[in-house]
Amino acid sequence: MDVKTLCLSVLSLGEASGYEIRKHFEEGAFRHFQTATFGSIYPALGKLYELGQVSVIEHEQDGRPDKKVYTLTESGRTALQQALLRDPAPDAMRSDLLVQLFFAHLLPPEKVAALIDQRIAEYRACIEKMTGCTKAPPGHGFVQGMGLAIYSAAAIYLEQNKAGLMARLTADRPEKDTAE
């Protein structure tokens, strides 16, 4: 799913500027399962305009560059619907943390504990931010609930299994205090 389609998706929620679109991927509802940054959003909007799938109104502003507010055209709405019908690419998760934990035995135990604690905190913060949001179309709430379910499961797993991992990591080695 390319950035063009992603922009169409966000614009289907209402008109927006490139800057505002980015926020959906940075802080908004899309941040958990899609990524897009300025460098890809602005060119994508340009192409969508050439394709006639969005229209633009420029609002002049004082010290800043004009704000370009994009709106879906009928053609754009159709393009979005067609894109949504295509077979979805398989989900892809990329986690450096899990690589590190996979090789926990190659890291200092304190480092492992710190990594896990930090990630738990991140999940918890994320969960709190997510609870309670606008969710008018049924899909919005459904997807948010899914995110919540996954993050909660991840946080709980880390909380419940951290001690066990740490015990196994330090089991073979003599305690640092005495045997150094």
- Nearer to DNA by Cβ, of 89 and 179: the residue is 89
Q: Cα separation of 24 and 4, whole Å?
A: 14
Tell whether the torsion through CA atoms of 48, 51, 56 and 58 is positive or negative.
positive
Binding mask 34-73 for DNA (x = CB under 7 A): -xxxxxx-xxxxx--------------xxxxxxxxx----
Residue 97's closest CA among 82, 115, 81, 109? 115
Tally the residues of the chain.
Answer: 180
Q: Cα separation of 157 and 174, whole Å?
A: 27
Task: Name the residues that contact its own copies, by CB under 8 A.
Answer: 1, 6, 9, 12, 29-30, 32-35, 80-81, 84-85, 88-89, 91-107, 111, 115, 137-140, 142-143, 145-147, 149-150, 152-154, 156-158, 161, 164-165, 168-169
Q: Cα separation of 110 and 78, whole Å?
A: 54
Side chain identity, residue 19: Y
- Nearer to its own copies by Cβ, of 63 and 138: the residue is 138
For the bound state, the minimum distance from the C-beta of residue 53 to its own copies, rounded and expressed in Å, comes to 15
Name the site residues for DNA (rule: CB under 7 A): 2-3, 17-20, 23, 35-40, 42-46, 61-69
